[in-house]
């Protein structure tokens, strides 16, 4: 046997990044996606230097830079006084320090870059998996259109409601956090008087649930606004449901004038409830594993959801790159999980805590991670240490 047949459920950011890396490693990769096509849904994705470096290693960083914006700083401001409580230089300084800049990009533009590189005939659209079973020699997927397929390895890149996760660990719903998020995009020219528009700015609110984050989109021509607030009564999880602009403004009516000026410029807004899960103690079983939101869905407060999915994809592909026989798959997936679990759990919990870089602090452990350089044998060493305890 020379190449493994690898199925990836979900053509999201994590699934497609893994598909590209595993295809390049010589495996026979097929991606199954429930949507009929790639849709221009969602808005801005924040790619911190750790994520950009992972994409650079795949050779797609230039294409991503083409439509992305490049925030100049990461600034924290206090909701009422507007006082700056921390300022981190990004841009060239981050590039020098971490080997890559921070980029912010529309999710659809990032997906388009990934889809352009991965062979189109290997993405099967309108394939929603409804049953997944594993036996001694592989995994069978059954789709809602009645078709089936069989693979040697199955990777769940199928997001927060992952069917692969359910197949491994049973059904368990994500938890509503009691927090809702508003998303809006405004032209930068409409708020030109607000300072630091090309920075990633976080307005820390009067309680941990309340915050407004703004950053540039579309090479800086637009500004993305992401605001959260506690609200127990709204449970709808959606990337497309409109919210009320008046409710958005009312929710932050006591915020500093600069923040209110941004909200005053909004013509429309989307609203969604935020859900999350606890870190898993493990996320592989036999020849199945998870990545991205399927394994560690997190609150958006460290802006690492996409970054963790991309890092997972690179480390997973490196772990599977040398595997040529069926009996070596499970160990490679265990190695991947050991390499990733501690970091993603820490970021999942840190995102829930919502304190990251509030008053400064060292971002190196997040931004300085290099998914292409993490020694793969560290996964093996961790296994031995765990065995020795
Ligand atoms: C439509 C959409 C819009 C988003 N917009 C934003 C945004 O604007 N900003 C932001 O920060 N984050 C956004 N996110 C979330 C963000 O993409 C993720 O948090 C992060 O990038 C991790 O990505 P992922 O690849 O693990 O999962 P996801 O991005 O959630 O991708 C999962 C993929 O799996 C597919 N899928 C799910 N179940 C099945 C199934 N049973 N069978 C087949 N396919 C399945 C989904 O259709 C999706 O394409 C969005 C997610 C989605 C799905």
Please state, in angstroms and as integers, the Cα–Cα distance from residue 144 to each residue in 7, 137, 169, 204, 339, following that order: 17, 23, 21, 44, 34
Q: Residue whose CA is closest, atom 29 of ligand 1?
A: 12
- The pLDDT assigned to 383 comes to 57
Contact status, residue 239 vs residue 42, Cβ threshold 8 Å = yes
Tell me the average pLDDT across 180-198.
97
* CA 286 – ligand 1 centroid, Å: 25
- What is the CA(85)–ligand 1 centre distance, in A? 33
Q: Per residue in 64-111, pLDDT tens?
A: 999 999 999 999 999 999 999 999 999 999 999 999 999 999 999 999
Cβ-contact 272, 192 below 8 angstroms: no
State the distance from the centre of ligand 1 to the C-alpha of 327, rounded, in angstroms.
31
250 burial (CB, 10 Å; 0-12 / 13-18 / 19+) is exposed
Q: How buried is residue 67: exposed, middle or buried, by Cβ count under 10 Å (0-12/13-18/19+)?
A: middle
Residue 385, both tokens: 């240490």
**High-pLDDT (> 70) share of the chain, %:** 97
List, for residues 3-31, the tens digit of each pLDDT value: 999 999 999 999 999 999 999 999 999 99
**pLDDT recorded at residue 379:** 64
- Say how many Å lie between the CA of residue 15 and the centre of ligand 1: 9
**Rounded to an integer, what is the distance from CA 158 to the centroid of its chain?**
12
Q: Which atom of ligand 1 is nearest to the CA of 14?
A: 25
Instruction: At 269, give phi and psi (nearest 5°).
Output: -150, 150
Q: What average pLDDT does the segment 327-335 reach?
A: 97
Query: What's the CA gap between 253 and 221, in Å, rounded?
Result: 26
Confidence at 388, pLDDT banded by 50, 70, 90: very low
385 pLDDT band (50/70/90 cuts)?
low
Ligand 1 centre and the CA of 324: distance in Å?
A: 30
Residue nearest to atom 35 of ligand 1 (CA): 10
In the reported structure, the alpha carbon of residue 158 is separated from the centroid of ligand 1 by a whole-number distance in angstroms of: 7
- Decide: residue 178, CB within 10 A, 0-12 exposed, 13-18 middle, 19+ buried: middle
In testing the pocket of ligand 1, which one of 18, 19, 33, 107 has its CB within 8 Å of the most ligand atoms?
A: 107
Residue 377's pLDDT is what?
A: 84
Burial of 237 (0-12, 13-18, 19+ CB in 10 A): middle
Ligand 1 centroid – CA 160 distance (Å): 8
Cβ atoms of residues 76 and 333 within 8 Å: no
How much is the average pLDDT of 235-262? 96
* Phi, psi torsion values for 15, nearest 5 degrees: -60, -45
Confidence category of residue 389, pLDDT binned at 50, 70, 90: very low
Of ligand 1's listed atoms, the one at least distance from the Cα of 158 is: 34
The pLDDT value recorded for residue 1 is 56
Residues of the chain with pLDDT > 90, as a percent, come to: 90
pTM to 2 decimals? 0.96
Cβ < 6 A, ligand 1 pocket:
9-15, 32-35, 41-45, 107, 127-129, 157-159, 163, 239, 292-294, 305-306, 309
pLDDT digit string (tens) for 262-276? 999 999 999 999 999
pLDDT at 387: 43
Averaged pLDDT of the chain: 94
Distance 135 CA to ligand 1 centre (A): 28
Which atom of ligand 1 has the smallest separation from the CA of 183?
8
Task: Write the residue with the smallest CA distance to atom 1 of ligand 1.
Answer: 41
């Amino acid at each position: 046997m020379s190449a493994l047949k690898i199925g990836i459920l979900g053509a999201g950011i994590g699934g497609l990044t893994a598909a590209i890396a595993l295809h390049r490693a010589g495996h026979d990769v097929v991606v199954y996606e429930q949507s009929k096509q790639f849709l221009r849904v969602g808005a801005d994705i924040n790619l911190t230097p750790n994520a950009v470096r992972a994409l650079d290693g795949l050779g797609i960083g230039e294409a991503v830079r083409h439509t992305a914006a490049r925030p100049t700083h990461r600034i924290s401001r206090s909701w009422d006084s507007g006082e700056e409580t921390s300022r981190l230089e990004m841009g060239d300084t981050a590039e020098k320090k971490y080997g890559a800049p921070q980029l912010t990009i529309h999710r659809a533009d990032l997906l388009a870059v990934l889809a352009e590189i991965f062979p189109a005939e290997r993405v099967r659209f309108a394939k929603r998996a409804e049953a997944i079973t594993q036996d001694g020699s592989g995994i069978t997927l059954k789709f809602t259109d009645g078709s089936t397929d069989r693979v040697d390895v199955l990777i769940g890149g199928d997001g927060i409601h992952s069917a692969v996760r359910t197949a491994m660990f049973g059904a368990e719903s994500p938890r509503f956090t009691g927090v809702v998020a508003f998303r809006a995009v405004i032209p930068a020219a409409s708020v030109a008087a607000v300072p630091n528009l090309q920075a990633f700015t976080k307005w820390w609110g009067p309680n941990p649930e309340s915050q407004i984050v703004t950053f540039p989109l579309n090479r800086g021509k637009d500004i993305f606004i992401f605001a959260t607030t506690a609200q127990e009564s709204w449970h709808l999880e959606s990337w497309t449901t409109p919210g009320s602009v008046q409710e958005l403004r009312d929710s932050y009516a006591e915020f500093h004038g600069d923040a209110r000026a941004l909200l005053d410029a909004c013509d429309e807004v989307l609203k969604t409830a935020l859900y999350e899960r606890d870190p898993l103690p493990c996320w592989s079983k036999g020849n199945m594993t998870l990545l991205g939101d399927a394994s560690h869905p997190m609150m958006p407060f460290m802006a690492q959801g996409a970054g963790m999915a991309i890092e997972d994809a690179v480390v997973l592909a490196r772990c599977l790159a040398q595997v040529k026989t069926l009996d070596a798959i499970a160990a490679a997936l265990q190695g991947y999980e050991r390499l990733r679990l501690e970091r993603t759990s820490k970021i999942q919990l840190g995102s829930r805590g919502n304190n990251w870089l509030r008053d400064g602090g060292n971002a190196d452990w997040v931004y300085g991670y290099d998914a292409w350089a993490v020694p793969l044998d560290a996964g093996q060493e961790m296994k031995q240490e765990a065995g020795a305890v």
